[in-house]
Structure 1
Amino acid sequence: MLRKVVIGVAVIATLVAGVGTARLVLPWTDPARGVVKQLKFLRAELENGADVAAQKQFPEGYFFLNVLYGLSWVQVGLDDPERSADATAEARWALDRIASRDGTAPFDESLQPRYGVFYAGWTNWLRGGLFALGRSEAADRAAFTSASAEIASAFRTAPSPFLAAYPGQAWPVDSVVAIASLRLYDALVAPRFGQAARTWVTAARTRLDPATGLLPHQAVPQVSGARGSSQAMIQRFLVDIDPAFAEEQYALFKERFVNGLGVREYPEGTSGHGDVDSGPLVFGMSLSATVVGLGAARVHHDPLADRLARTGELVGLPFSGLTTKRYLFGAVPIGDAFLAWSTSARPLVAAGQPELDGESGWWRLPWLVLLWLPALLLWGALRLRHRGRRRRRAR
Structure 2
Amino acid sequence: MGRFRRWAPRVAGIVVTVACLVGAGRLLWPQPGLDEQPGATERQLAFVRDALDEGSDTAAQELFPEGYVFSNVLYGLAWVQAAHTDSGLRDDALRESRWALARVESDEGRAVFSPRLQPAYGVFWAGWTNWLRGAILSLDHSDTSAVHQFSVHSAEIAQAFSTADTPFLQAYQGQAWPVDSTVAMASLRLHDKLFGAKYTAVIDRWLAQAKTRLDPATGLLPHQVSAADGSMMTGARATSQTAIHRFLPEIDPAFAKNQYALFRDQFLSYPGGFGPAVREYPKGVDGSGDVDSGPLVAGISLSATVVAVGAARMNGDRTLAAAIGSEGELLGLPIDLPWSKRYAFGLLPIGDAFVVWSSTARLLTEPPTEVEHESRWWWRLPWLGVLGLVAIAPWGWALGRRVRTALGAH
| TM-score (norm: length of structure 1) | 0.96
Alignment of 1:42 with 2:48, yes or no, is yes
| Corresponding residue number in structure 1 for 2:131 | 125
**1:102-251 residue pairs with structure 2 within 5 A?**
102-134=108-140, 136-220=142-226, 223-251=233-261
Alignment of 1:12 with 2:15, yes or no, is yes
Contact 1:85 1:135 in 2 (8 A): no
| Corresponding residue number in structure 2 for 1:325 | 341
Letter in 1 for 2:211: R
Q: Distance in 2 between matches of 1:386 and 1:7?
A: 16
Q: Distance in 1 between matches of 2:287 and 2:256?
A: 26
Contact 1:32 1:76 in 2 (8 A): no
Shift of 1:36: 1.2
Deviations 1:327-386, CA, capped at 9 Å, x for gaps:
001000000000000000011112243422463430000000111101223223211224
Alignment of 1:80 with 2:86, yes or no, is yes
| Corresponding residue number in structure 2 for 1:265 | 280
Q: Which structure 1 residue ranges, 5 or more long, are not aligned?
A: none
Shift of 1:12: 1.6
Shift of 1:301: 1.4
Deviations 1:26-78, CA, capped at 9 Å, x for gaps:
32477443121111011111111111111111111111000000000010111
Shift of 1:387: 4.4
RMSD of aligned Cα (Å): 1.7
What secondary structure sits across from 1:223 in the alignment?
strand
* Equivalent of 1:305 in 295, 299, 321: 321
Shift of 1:6: 2.9
| Corresponding residue number in structure 1 for 2:24 | 21
| Corresponding residue number in structure 1 for 2:401 | 385
Alignment of 1:282 with 2:297, yes or no, is yes
Q: Distance in 1 between matches of 2:94 and 2:169?
A: 30
Aligned residues: 394
Contact 1:290 1:308 in 2 (8 A): yes
Q: Distance in 2 between matches of 1:336 and 1:136?
A: 31
Contact 2:178 2:225 in 1 (8 A): yes
Contact 1:209 1:226 in 2 (8 A): yes
Alignment of 1:254 with 2:281, yes or no, is no
Letter in 1 for 2:323: R
Q: Select between 292-301 and 2-11 the one with higher mean Cα deviation.
A: 2-11
Q: Structure 1 residues 37 and 135, CA, compared in 2 at 3 Å: closer, same or farther?
A: farther
Q: Distance in 1 between matches of 2:172 and 2:194?
A: 29
Contact 2:115 2:121 in 1 (8 A): yes
Contact 1:42 1:333 in 2 (8 A): yes
Letter in 2 for 1:264: R
Identity among equivalent pairs (%): 50
Q: Distance in 2 between matches of 1:255 and 1:177?
A: 23
Q: Select between 155-164 and 55-64 the one with higher mean Cα deviation.
A: 55-64
| TM-score (norm: length of structure 2) | 0.92
Letter in 2 for 1:60: E
What secondary structure sits across from 1:361 in the alignment?
coil
Q: Distance in 2 between matches of 1:84 and 1:74?
A: 8
Shift of 1:388: 4.5
Alignment of 1:359 with 2:359, yes or no, is no
Letter in 2 for 1:132: S
Q: Which structure 2 residue ranges, 5 or more long, are not aligned?
A: none
Shift of 1:24: 1.7
Letter in 2 for 1:338: F
**1:330-345 residue pairs with structure 2 within 5 A?**
330-345=346-361
Shift of 1:232: 0.5
Letter in 1 for 2:261: A
Letter in 2 for 1:375: A
Q: Structure 1 residues 214 and 372, CA, compared in 2 at 3 Å: closer, same or farther?
A: same
Contact 1:88 1:135 in 2 (8 A): no
| Corresponding residue number in structure 2 for 1:70 | 76
